Amino acid sequence: MIQRPPAPNPANEHKLQHAASAALFAALVLLALWVVREFIPAVAWASVVAIVLWPAWQAIERHPWFKCRTTAVATLLTVAIALLVVLPIMLAVIQAGGEAHEFYIWFRAAQENGVPVPDFVAHLPVGSQQVADWWQANLAQPLRGSPAMMGLHSDTLMSFGRHFGVRAVQASMTFAFMLVTLFFIFQAGPRLSSTLMRGARRAFGADGAHLLQRMATAVRCTVAGLVIVGLGEGVLLGGAYLVTGVPHAALLGTVTAVAAMLPFCAPIVFILAALWLLVQGASSLPSGLLCGASWSSPSPNISCVPC
Report how far apart, in Å, the C-alpha atoms of 33 and of each of 37, 38, 151 are. 6, 9, 43
What phi and psi values does residue 125 have, to the nearest 5 degrees? Answer: -70, -30
What is the model's pLDDT at position 1? Answer: 46
Flag residues of the chain having pLDDT under 70: 1-11, 120, 123-126, 143-157, 263, 278-307
CA separation for the pair 74, 64 (Å, rounded): 16
Domain range list for the chain: 38-131+170-188, 206-302
Residue 136 near residue 114, CB atoms below 8 Å:
no
Q: Which residues contact 258 (CB under 8 A, 6 or more apart)?
A: 88, 230, 234
What is the model's pLDDT at position 20? Answer: 82
What is the model's pLDDT at position 108? Answer: 78
pTM over 0.75: no
What is the model's pLDDT at position 115? Answer: 76
What is the model's pLDDT at position 302? Answer: 45
What is the model's pLDDT at position 79? Answer: 92
What is the model's pLDDT at position 298? Answer: 54
